[in-house]
Amino acid sequence: MADAEGAAERCQVDGCSNPVERSVAGKLAGRAGLAVDDSQKRVHLCREHYRQLKKATRKERELESLGR
Ligand SMILES: [Zn+2]
């Protein structure tokens, strides 16, 4: 059976192999606490990790606006 791996993109979070749903800036993913290589320009995330990132960055944004 031919393997399609390599063609299908995988989530780049360490230990995760779900299919990719979104790509985000590496820096953003690093700041959200995801286990990715945040020196990369873009990282690909599965739906679950993208949700995690959104949650984390939303919190950060709230804190930033509260601090003003
Ligand atoms: Zn993932």
Q: Where are the domains of the chain?
A: 22-66
Q: Give me ligand 1 centre to Cα 7, in Å.
A: 17
pLDDT value, residue 67: 67
**Per-residue pLDDT tens digits of the chain, which is 68 residues long:** 445 455 578 999 999 999 999 999 999 999 999 999 989 999 999 999 999 999 998 876 676 777 65
pLDDT value, residue 59: 73
Q: Give me ligand 1 centre to Cα 45, in Å.
A: 5
DSSP 15: T
pLDDT value, residue 22: 95
Residues 51/62, Cβ–Cβ less than 8 Å: no
Instruction: Tell me how far the alpha carbon of residue 23 is from its chain's centroid.
Output: 7
**Three-state secondary structure string covering 27-52:** HHHHHCCCCCCCCCCEEEECHHHHHH
pLDDT value, residue 16: 96
pTM score, two decimals?
Answer: 0.75
Q: Give me ligand 1 centre to Cα 62, in Å.
A: 24
Q: Give me ligand 1 centre to Cα 16, in Å.
A: 5
Q: Give me ligand 1 centre to Cα 4, in Å.
A: 19
